[in-house]
């Protein structure tokens, strides 16, 4: 797809969002999909599916420090459409984000849904994956692994999987202070690898410093994904506006883009969830 004609705001398709300047405003646009059997079970509550569809898109806006303007929905008609609308309403009201429009179609199973989220940048330049610099610290806004536990049936963490919450306010607060930022959607290790690759640096993570929901399943927690915490880099001495866990350091590019302690991690296929 990178060989296609690209808008300059597409950032070479190396980021989660497009950034578009329109007059005095800067808008941030993203699109995510969810498919039955991959992102949700066939028997999932469709209200939860709708909520998560909104939340995952708004999480991309959060990582850019953007304020939601509205969303466009692509909906496949099917079972429990009324429940889907209930969840959609819950999410749009919870995150103060109006529906702008979209499209509905009748099609067979399995079902898939798409959502385009449009946001207004709260800070320019808009944070990117590619800004991490040698000497920066690597930070995480909260523990990873809660969604994994919720998926496995842990009632304490069920909401983390079914109804995640995008860190919108935290993203806006952090945007002026970070050198790079993204959300953790496909696993902490894989997303750190992506940030290091985009920035042309090596990220070294301290295993003892990474907050996880279940230390007994540390390795799974840092690979599973669906957490939607914010991963960012900033100068270690910077006065951050919110509490965050420092989990590593950015260095000049070495033999691998990512180290976990002293272990070189250079194969993204083993680090988290990848499509295709």
Determine the pLDDT at residue 121.
Answer: 98
What ranges make up the beta strands (E) of the chain? 18-22, 25-35, 66-77, 99-106, 112-121, 137-140, 180-183, 201-205, 230-234, 245-252, 258-260, 263-265
Determine the pLDDT at residue 196.
Answer: 97
Question: What phi and psi values does residue 209 have, to the nearest 5 degrees?
Answer: -100, -10
Residues 104 and 141 in one domain: no
Contact at 8 Å (CB) between 200 and 89? no
User: pLDDT per position in the chain (276 positions), as tens?
Assistant: 777 888 887 787 778 899 999 999 999 999 999 999 888 888 999 999 999 999 999 999 999 999 999 999 999 999 999 999 999 999 999 999 999 999 999 988 899 999 999 999 999 999 999 999 999 999 999 999 999 999 999 999 999 999 999 999 999 999 999 999 999 999 999 999 999 999 999 999 999 999 999 999 999 999 999 999 999 999 998 899 999 999 999 999 999 999 999 999 988 888 986 655
Q: Show the domain range for 102.
A: 8-121
Residues 108 and 133 in one domain: no
Strands lying side by side in the sheet with 258-260: 180-183, 230-234, 137-140, 245-252, 201-205, 258-260, 263-265
Determine the pLDDT at residue 269.
Answer: 86
Residues 74 and 203 in one domain: no
Residues 212 and 257 in one domain: yes
Q: Which of 180, 214, 196, 209 is nearest to 265 (CA)?
A: 196
Q: What is the CATH number of the domain that holds 156?
A: 3.90.650.10
Q: Where does a domain end: 95, 121, 147?
A: 121
Q: Do the domain assignments include residue 137?
A: yes
Determine the pLDDT at residue 25.
Answer: 96
Separation of first and last alpha carbons in the chain: 14
Contact at 8 Å (CB) between 121 and 92? no
Taking the C-alpha atoms of residue 55 and residue 140, their distance in angstroms, rounded to an integer, is 19
Is cis: bond before 110, omega within 30 of 0? yes
Contact at 8 Å (CB) between 194 and 182? yes
Determine the pLDDT at residue 2.
Answer: 79
């Amino acid at each position: 797809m990178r060989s296609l004609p690209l808008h300059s705001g597409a950032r070479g398709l190396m980021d989660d969002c497009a950034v578009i300047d329109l007059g005095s405003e800067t808008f941030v646009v993203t699109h995510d999909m969810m498919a039955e059997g991959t992102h949700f079970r066939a028997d999932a509550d469709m209200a939860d599916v709708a909520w998560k569809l909104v939340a995952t898109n708004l999480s991309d806006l959060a990582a850019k420090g953007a304020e939601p303007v509205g969303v466009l929905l692509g909906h496949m008609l099917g079972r429990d459409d009324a429940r889907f609308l209930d969840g959609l309403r819950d999410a749009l009201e919870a995150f103060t984000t109006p529906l702008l429009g979209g499209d509905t179609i009748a099609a067979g199973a399995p079902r898939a849904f798409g959502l385009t989220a449009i946001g207004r940048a709260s800070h320019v330049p808009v944070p990117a994956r590619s800004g991490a610099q040698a000497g920066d610290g690597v930070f995480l806004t909260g523990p990873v692994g809660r969604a994994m536990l919720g998926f496995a049936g842990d009632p304490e963490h069920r909401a983390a999987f079914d109804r995640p919450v995008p860190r919108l306010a935290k993203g806006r607060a952090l945007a002026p202070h970070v050198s790079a930022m993204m959300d953790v959607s496909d696993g902490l290790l894989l997303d750190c690898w992506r940030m290091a690759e985009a920035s042309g640096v090596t990220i070294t993570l301290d295993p003892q410093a990474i907050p996880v929901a279940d230390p007994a399943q540390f390795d799974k927690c840092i690979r599973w994904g669906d957490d939607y915490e914010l991963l960012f880099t900033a100068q270690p001495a910077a006065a951050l506006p919110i509490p965050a866990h420092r989990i590593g350091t950015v260095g000049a590019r070495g033999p691998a883009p990512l180290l976990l302690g002293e272990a070189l991690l250079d194969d993204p296929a083993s680090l988290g969830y990848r499509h295709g």
